[in-house]
Structure 1
């Protein structure tokens, strides 16, 4: 499926567009694209909005979900605190990725580094309807942990 992208103002156009690293990959890797081309230190526990240098036109009826890269998460504790982040089909602004260092060590985000992955996902919008009562189920109002922990 075609997804149109354009460069944001000040973007480094030598940075590759999002791309799938293998034939079976669900997520296309997206890269840091800092306007000043510098690296940024992300201390333990800190967050940073990392620019990608892109603006994107998600097809109507779809969203793009931004997800952490598993290798960065396992090796360095680098994750996305709002994962999955959503890019709606009507958004046309700069694409940024909120990155969190949940690891114990500082981490350097280099210009051009693969920082997240994006997955194109179909969206079904619901119509919400007020009712007097909800249909009963065997679980009922049992919330967090009500079905057991193992």
Structure 2
């Protein structure tokens, strides 16, 4: 059985998408790329202070999904160059991809990366541009944890609905 890794979701051709890779020998994170060109509007678009509507993140598609053991999670974190060079941040600081997100019926488990653009100009992410890092890690539960039997039946942001 597969332990952990990435796959391309069915709505993309396998030649269109590159699976995440670590960029150096000791890199902790796998760089995820944008699956298509995507506009991330500036929160300063109007020139005035950002409105609540301007602070709504966009969801950038990656075209990939992840499979991992039930006691692990994939953390999505900003690349160090994202905020500094492009003004792009993950608004919740860390995205969490649980094991049961894989192949969910709503979106096949495709990973979307939430992004905000804090620079004064809109930013076009180009297909294949590295947009965040994915870091695999184990997590712990309490000794008196009550095992939840509810199955995930949706995609992005579906738990707790």
TM range (shorter): 0.7 to 0.9
| 2:118 is equivalent to residue 102 of structure 1 | yes
The unaligned stretches of length 5 or more in structure 1 are 130-150
Note if contact 1:44-1:104 (Cα within 8 Å) is conserved in structure 2. yes
The verdict on how the C-alpha distance between 1:18 and 1:2 changes in structure 2, with shifts beyond 3 A counting, is farther
TM, length-normalised to structure 1: 0.75
| Greater percentage in strand | 1
- 1:2 Cα offset (Å): 4.4
- For structure 2, the residue ranges without an aligned partner over 5 or more in a row are 44-53, 103-108, 146-161
Spell out the pairing of 1:1-150 with structure 2 (5 A cutoff).
2-14=3-15, 15-34=17-36, 39-45=37-43, 47-92=57-102, 93-127=109-143
Three-state SS of the structure 2 residue aligned to 1:120 is: strand
Instruction: Tell me the CA shift for residue 13 of structure 1.
Output: 2.0
Q: Secondary structure at the match of 1:74?
A: helix
- RMSD of equivalent CA atoms: 2.0
Q: Which structure has the greater CA radius of gyration? A: 1
Give the TM-score of the pair, scaled to structure 2: 0.70
